[in-house]
Chains A and B, each alone.
Chain A
Amino acid sequence: MGQGSILIIDDDPDITEAMTVILANRGYEVRSARDGSEGMERLKEARPDLIILDVMMRTSQEGFELSRELKHNKKYKDIPILMLTGVKQKTGLDFKADAGDESWLPVEEYLDKPVRPDILLAKVEDLLQKP
């Protein structure tokens, strides 16, 4: 069984619910938030061991912006982030606009939606085991 607490920040309630079931089944403690600001509130309530973050929420960049904010925050920068994208790295979205900045995608790992349960669990386990 897995150990650790996970915060899911995703504006799709159904995907959030599915992931919550998958992760809770494995024994993780799961909380969720529907957008960036709610995510920050949950973060302040209790520090999670891992954040699962959707790229495209209200705006197509919200996930990115939040991840950048977190990684520049001394308190939270050590929390690993698993980014979920509806589209792979190579997309029509101009992700590369600020590619000159090394922190343009400062997340530990990312996965394409929909995430298969076995892959999600493997990645989560992997990220939580890292020192």
Chain B
Amino acid sequence: MENLLTSPSLIQRAYWLIRLRWVAIATLVAATFVSHELMKVSLNASALYAFSIVLIVYNFVLYDLLRYWTWADKQPSPRRITEIVTFQISADLLILATIIHFSGGIENPFAFFFVFHMIIASILCSKRQSYLQATLAAFLFGGLAILEGGGVLPHHGLIGFAGHELYRNGTFIFGFLLVFTVTLYLVVYMTTSISEQLRLQQESLEKANTQLEEKDHVKNEYVLRVTHDIKGHLAAVQSCLDVVLNEMVGPLNEKQKDMVGRAHHRTTKCMEFVTALLKLTRMKLTGQLEREQFSLRKTLLGALALVQNRAQSKSITLHHHIDPAIDLIDGEAVLIEETVTNMLLNAVKYTPAGGSVGLEVKRDGTFVQVKITDTGIGVPPADLTRIFEEFYRADNARAAERDGTGLGLAFAKQVVERHGGQIWAENNPTGGSTFIFTLPAAKATAGGS
């Protein structure tokens, strides 16, 4: 791809050219009106007004064509887009030459506007194409000046503005055209050099980005491999400790039982960590959701049921309110249930006995918002975004519960983002914190509320 810009932005540029043209047409009408009516310059105003109308029609047609080609996110081929842009620029050169012909020819300072077209071409088109456009412009304007000067084409002078004999002065025509042509080529040369540099930079950035992604992938595979091996050993350690702790190979005295119990507890914690890391890494590596329509309501009620016992044992009230209009959504039910369960367990874990944990679900535009509120220890303001990073744990959370993996919220973030939603945390003004995530509402329920 020789272009500076990629296809989607080239389409936007094609639309941009159309918008610019509306401004140009308005300027043409205004300039004609001001010079003719106010400055009393003698010019062929009716021809220019008529031409403005032609231009308005042309621009509408072009707009419709472009809309037709890009209808419903259709993506025309890069070749087609380049053709559209090239055609527009060439047509604009012709239009500008025509306007200048009707308004003084070589005597009209609007001839400088050709420079704009050169800049636009140099940014949007290839180098070769830009030089071709410069040649076309020099050819059109030069031909116009020479034909008018030679009397082949009529000259519509700007009487009252410029010395209207200049258009017949051979030396002036020669000098003007020489400088004009050099200017056009120089502008194309300078602009294409800069755009080319930008394009190279963009390319190297893209390459660096791809390399980073590849490295990240390799890292994740490495973590997966190592974690998996560690998990195998841990499983064996735990199985053997289980046998001893359950006194299947003979009775233990109190101290032995205590020590083996501690070892068993720590392997369990280690296992939880390794399992969480495996799950998160797998998610990052494959990242494919097994999407289906499922009942968010049932899933959430399931999660609440799983947490009920834990909440009760800490005398924490669990309350919920789910908007009755919300039910089916698109996604992977198992992952959502696990995420909500984890978030509810977190809320229960960091809320002192006697507090309350709430689950609220409501519609938020095209999203469904799930809100988990607690009356717990809250999150230090500086940590509100950091707690979603892998392994990061807020100080107060670490103090309250020493053994946490620091991976739960990172996993929740992965799950929510894979579903196309967002997750964040807030502190409540009255104490405690609120964790919120959104999920795109399924189209089927869009009319539901």
Binding site for B on A (CB under 8 A): 12, 14-15, 17-19, 21-22, 25, 86-87, 90-92, 113-117
Contact = CB atoms under 8 A, between A and B. Distances in A.
Contacts of B285: 92
16 contacts: A14-B236, A14-B237, A14-B240, A19-B239, A21-B243, A21-B249, A22-B242, A22-B243, A25-B248, A86-B231, A86-B235, A90-B334, A114-B238, A114-B242, A115-B239, A116-B242
A18 B232 contact: no
A12 B154 CA distance: 98
A18 B334 contact: no
B234 A114 contact: yes
A18 B242 CA distance: 8
A87 B278 contact: yes
B57 to A, nearest CB: 58
Interface centre among A15, A18, A19 (most CB of B within 10 A): A18
Interface residues of B, number: 22
Contacts of B235: 12, 15, 86, 113-114
A70 B234 CA distance: 30
Interface in B312-341: 334
Contacts of A90: 334
Nearest to A60: B228
Interface string B211-249: 000000000000010001001101111111011001011
Given A12-B232, A25-B248, A92 B286 contact: yes
Interface of B: 224, 228, 231-232, 234-240, 242-243, 246, 248-249, 271, 278, 282, 285-286, 334
B345 to A, nearest CB: 18
A55 to B, nearest CB: 12
Given A86-B228, A91-B282, A15 B239 contact: yes
B140 to A, nearest CB: 63
Contact of B248 (A12, A21, A115): A21
Contact of B271 (A14, A21, A92, A114): A114
